[in-house]
Structure 1
């Protein structure tokens, strides 16, 4: 039987992931997922592990619906409260999308600048200012927060185990930053799924996920592996049209609840 074996949320884009036993879904994906993002204070460009691998060690956790706590090695905890959705707005770009979203304030920026050693700002994504998913794949105008493009990402547990065997060492699932992990399917079975049901929630798999240098960063220490794995192995086995793919992007109906251990049914 197929089942949902893990749920992961990333409150801060490119920050540390957290495993959840249960999560609500709202219009943008898992509740609270990737609602915060760092940008360069001067250029306005978003910052991620691609440029700053140490962000893998930057922990952001929701204290409650209105407050986030930041933690990082060698730093005292820093709490950040939701900014007003329509004030202190900053312009930024995320993979071609123009965004105008609120800034979280000087205290959060100063804390982050001290740890990262560079000028930056922390931004928040209110639902009302979310961007639309690529219109080539959306059918109902679905929107997303500060994800790379889609509200949810799914990976099969046996796909990771197959890739680990090819690389020659166990790989951490968090290298690939999925939201949902499904257990019990053959390796890469998710490549052929179009619609699934997890518990009572129906989801559409719309596009394979292209992978980048972030997969080579060890989530335990925030350092890139010198052998560039698993990206090199993915290039040999999962290359298509100049991109390497691992995992599937999903769209969802907007609301629902997902729980670890829930049965997974392939509808199409």
Structure 2
């Protein structure tokens, strides 16, 4: 799936591309004309969405399964708010003391809508792996911050972040899974299981899952526009 390209086209269409597949122009579905479905996420959280139709279902099924059916694509139009985070993650809330809750979540993400990492942290991971070729794309962040004075992993201590017009709050560290070992350019999982193998030696969460951590998950407090090259402002209090 990492090789599927999704691009907005005009106001109400999306272009889908994937290797050896025809480009598909998908019209964003309307709740009044399309079927409403329930999509189960991590920990069986139920998210109400809109089915995108048979054409795109066949397209994604052919690409992923090599068959004409079996998978479907759903769209979330923002008409429902997630309200199960507090309950589903009650075993972690005491650890996530910075404010993780229903209001922190994005529409289709595990926990929050934004994730940020520091390029100096990525460089340190590579240094520990003897100058490997792991880049920021392996961590699938929304935002990558770079600068001459940045220190590795200092983003862990950022509390408030402002980029462009957008103001965000650090609500939880990001625990990483095996998806980070998939090369984002080829879609092939690395045999050496990097960068997780290296991160397990020094970047383990102190929380209940004991997983490697990289980057921070953010709650959006003020929406707006973000552009490449924007100055990033951070506060620790």
Same fold (TM over 0.5): yes
Q: Structure 2 residue aligned with 1:194, among 155, 159, 175?
A: 159
TM superposition score normalised by structure 1:
0.75
Q: In the alignment, is residue 88 of structure 1 matched against residue 35 of structure 2?
A: yes
Checking the alignment, whether the CA contact within 8 Å between 1:127 and 1:145 is kept in structure 2 is: yes
Q: Structure 2 residue aligned with 1:159, among 116, 121, 140?
A: 121
Checking the alignment, whether the CA contact within 8 Å between 1:142 and 1:251 is kept in structure 2 is: yes
The CA deviation string for residues 14-44 of structure 1, in whole angstroms up to 9 with x for no partner, is xxxxxxxxxxxxxxxxxxxxxxxxxxxxxxx
Structure 2 spans left out of the alignment, 5+ residues: 87-92, 94-98
Counterpart for residue 74 of structure 2: 123
- Give the secondary-structure state (helix, strand or coil) at the position aligned to 1:236: coil
Shift of 1:202: 2.2
The CA deviation string for residues 87-120 of structure 1, in whole angstroms up to 9 with x for no partner, is 4111221113212211100000111111112510
Shift of 1:140: 8.2
**1:139–1:211 Cα change, 3 Å:** closer
- Structure 1's consecutive aligned runs of 4 or more residues displaced over 6 angstroms after TM superposition are none
Counterpart for residue 266 of structure 1: 234
Which is greater in Rg?
A: 2
Deviates more, 1:119-128 or 1:96-105: 96-105
Q: Which has the higher contact order (CA 8 A, sep 6+)?
A: 1
Distance, in Å, in 2 between the alignment partners of 1:237 and 1:133 is 32
Counterpart for residue 251 of structure 1: 219
**1:231–1:139 Cα change, 3 Å:** closer
Counterpart for residue 105 of structure 1: 53
**1:140–1:60 Cα change, 3 Å:** closer
Distance, in Å, in 1 between the alignment partners of 2:129 and 2:152 is 15
Q: In the alignment, is residue 67 of structure 1 matched against residue 29 of structure 2?
A: no
Q: Structure 1 residue aligned with 2:199, among 226, 234, 247?
A: 234
**1:134–1:110 Cα change, 3 Å:** same
Deviates more, 1:55-64 or 1:123-132: 123-132
Checking the alignment, whether the CA contact within 8 Å between 2:48 and 2:76 is kept in structure 1 is: no
Structure 1 spans left out of the alignment, 5+ residues: 1-54
Q: How does 1:3-152 map to 2 (within 5 A)?
A: 55-86=1-32, 87-96=34-43, 97-117=45-65, 119-132=70-83, 134-135=85-86, 136=93, 137-138=99-100, 141-152=103-114
Checking the alignment, whether the CA contact within 8 Å between 2:116 and 2:215 is kept in structure 1 is: yes
Shift of 1:85: 2.5
The CA deviation string for residues 121-173 of structure 1, in whole angstroms up to 9 with x for no partner, is 00101111242483453478344121121010000010000001112202121
RMSD across aligned C-alpha pairs, in angstroms? 1.8
- Give the secondary-structure state (helix, strand or coil) at the position aligned to 1:162: helix
Distance, in Å, in 2 between the alignment partners of 1:194 and 1:133 is 24
